[in-house]
Amino acid sequence: MRYAHEVGKVRAAERALMARLPEGALMQRAAAGLAAVCARLLVRVYGAEVVLLAGGGDNGGDALYAGARLARRGARVTAVQAGSRLHEGGVGALRAAGGRVTGPEAAPALTGAADLIIDGLTGIGGTGGLREPHATLAALASASPGVVVACDVPSGVDASSGRVEGAAVRADVTVTFGTHKPGLLIDPGAAHCGVVELVDIGLGPDLPDPDVVAAWPEDVRPPEPGPESDKYRRGVVGILAGGEEFTGAAVLCAGGAVHGGAGMVRFASARHPVELVRQRWPEAVTTVIEPKAEELERVGRVQAWVVGPGLGTGEEAEALVEAVLGTDLPVLVDADGLTVLARRRDLLRRPAPTLLTPHAGELARLIGADREEIEAARLEHVQRAAAELPATVLLKGSTTLIAEEGRPVRVNPTGTPRLATAGTGDVLSGLAGALLAGGMPALDAAAAGAYLHGLAARIASAGPEEADGMAPISAYDVITALPAAFRALG
């Protein structure tokens, strides 16, 4: 896992470590790591044009000391002073190494000609929009043809939340110190970071439990079937989806479950979606049911339920959602089922695990918030939802977040804009439901499902031999790429 800590915890760990170190040693560790990354990014250090955008705090000091190290290796280093002061020790070291300091008026020419720019304007303590001249300097850096390296966090990005209010640096590489910060992993801030390089400065023993974690492939691997496995031991998922009006969601959700490792998929709905699922996925066991609680017994034994995609939001749909949530089995609720829950939150008071998979608009209805505010502060709102709703909450979007009260928030690292197409959420529901039926806890099933879902979309878009393909994809393409995504986990 990659671990991320909010700013207050990082500051406390830094204070504890600095109390045991000689004065200035921690800053020198950070500067050495920053300079090493910058040196690797340059074709050659000697003669390179390096520009430092330096604020008056410790972040500016890190940039100045790193610039001094590059200057001693022959780089031509110029610091642009953004505020009324600079870190005294850092500017002294830069000048002693042959670097120079200038004001913001020289920034347009300098950034336009730079091979590399180090953003040391604000650091992890910066909140709210950038003021001038910082905002203009951030825009100049972002438009520069040179490589832009952010020091700890791109200026203008809230390190603890990923909020971006106004101008912010768009970095090619972000060098962060000691631990990741949540804002480096969560959009919109994550989109400003480029590649994130973590430099160990010795904070580990002083850091508490993380606030946010992001998985590596080995962290999301579903359980493998053993020699004695059969379809029941692998997990039977029951799906209630689709209706006479919305049938595609039913087919896609069932497909996600079929290719998601379920031992068996039991699909139940009105006659027309049942016929379509039976034709497309003959592996699924299908049942035509009426929207009544007692009808669930006709579906057969399952280990988990998925309810909601294409189900409708009227009284009949509500009856099915209420019936499923009245069982003692894990339940995943998506799409129309979430709309029902927005007016029937009482149904969430149940002893068994519940996994909700809303996008921002659906979450807004569930917790009575504004959609735009949710999209701007995704971490804050998914944590609030997990606290208010007795459920695990998977917030879909540019960064998918999974929250459960009392646990670090999971961030999915495989998301791609290619998933912004109709039906992909239905595929995720079936996939995560299959993992839930296979015995994974709700938080793990949601995280693994999101990881595999994003990976499948990338594979479908790029093809197996290309890392950055740009082909458009459909929801069905994601389903067909799921076996390759499972294989890619190793």
Task: Could you list the residues known to form a binding site for AMP, using ranges.
Answer: 396-400, 425
Annotated binding residues for (6S)-NADPHX: 58-62, 123-129, 152, 249, 310, 359, 426
- Do the beta carbons of residue 396 and residue 358 sit within 8 Å? yes
Q: How far is CA 392 from the centre of its chain?
A: 16
Specify the pairing of strand 116-120 against strand 49-54.
parallel
DSSP 346-377: GGG--SS-EEE---HHHHHHHHT--HHHHHHS
Residues in the chain: 490
> Phi and psi for 411 in degrees, rounded to 5?
-110, 130
Which among 80, 69, 60 is positioned nearest to 39, based on CA atoms? 69
| Distance, CA of 23 to CA of 43 (rounded, Å) | 34
Annotated binding site: 58-62, 119, 123-129, 152, 155, 249, 310, 359, 396-400, 425-426
Round to whole Å and give the CA distance between 151 and 65: 12
> Where do runs of H (alpha helix) occur along 410-463?
424-437, 442-462
Pair 79, 118: CB distance under 8 Å: no
Which residue ranges make up the annotated binding site for K(+)? 59, 119, 155
**336-340, long-range: CB < 8 A, 24+ apart:** 336/246, 336/308, 336/309, 336/310, 336/311, 336/312, 337/307, 337/308, 337/309, 337/311, 338/308, 338/362, 338/365, 338/366, 339/313, 339/365, 340/308, 340/313
Strand stretches in 178-259, DSSP E = 195-199, 212-214, 236-240
Using CB atoms within 10 A of its CB, is residue 103 exposed (0-12), middle (13-18) or buried (19+)? exposed
- The first and second tokens of residue 345, run together, are 């939150």
Tokens read off for 397? 């979007």
